[in-house]
């Protein structure tokens, strides 16, 4: 199975094709993405640009996954386009905004920063919103 990796951490949108042997493909997103990371290293599939790194994005079954410091973060196609079209020197700031998001479920507003729950309508929480810090309490901005 060939995966497409967008080398956004250190290059201007180069694409790396990463071949994961079919017999190692499991259909489990987490396992498969770890295989993509493994085979995306120049030690295993040498290419003329850096190995797959934190800050790169892999396309998996028409979904986009940001390679984080630990694991992967799913991002929307729209957020991928924003990240990919941001100048290289500003991408870290933009991805921080993308990964720090507000999610509304049926019971309350929950704020997440990566995988860490920050707040569930019971106290102030800081959320980065396109480079600006904003404080929220009970789902309302208090900044």
Do residues 118 and 112 lie in contact, with contact meaning Cβ atoms separated by under 8 Å? yes
pLDDT at 110: 47
* 3-state class percentages of the chain: helix first, strand second, coil last, to nearest 5: 25, 35, 40
- Going by the DSSP 8-state scheme, the letter that residue 88 receives in this structure is G
pLDDT at 94: 84
pLDDT in tens, the chain (143 residues): 899 999 999 988 899 999 999 999 898 999 999 999 999 999 999 988 899 999 999 999 999 999 988 889 898 898 899 999 999 999 988 887 777 655 444 444 444 544 444 444 444 454 445 445 555 444 555 54
| Alpha-carbon distances, residue 12 vs 7, 26, 27, 31, 117 (angstroms) | 7, 31, 30, 28, 33
pLDDT at 53: 93
pLDDT at 135: 52
pLDDT at 31: 93
pLDDT at 114: 46
Give pTM, 2 decimals: 0.71
């Amino acid at each position: 199975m060939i995966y497409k990796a967008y080398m956004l951490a250190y290059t201007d949108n180069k694409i790396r094709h990463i071949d994961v042997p079919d017999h190692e493909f499991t259909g489990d997103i987490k396992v498969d993405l770890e295989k993509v990371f493994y085979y995306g290293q120049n030690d295993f599939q040498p290419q003329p640009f850096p190995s797959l790194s934190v800050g790169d994005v892999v396309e998996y079954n028409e979904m986009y996954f940001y390679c984080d410091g630990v694991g992967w973060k799913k991002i929307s196609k729209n957020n991928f386009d924003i990240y990919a079209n941001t100048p290289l020197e500003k991408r870290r700031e933009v991805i921080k905004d993308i990964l720090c998001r507000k999610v509304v479920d049926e019971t309350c507003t929950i704020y997440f920063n990566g995988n860490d729950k920050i707040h569930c309508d019971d106290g102030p929480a800081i959320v980065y919103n396109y480079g600006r810090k904003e404080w929220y309490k009970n789902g309302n901005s208090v900044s």
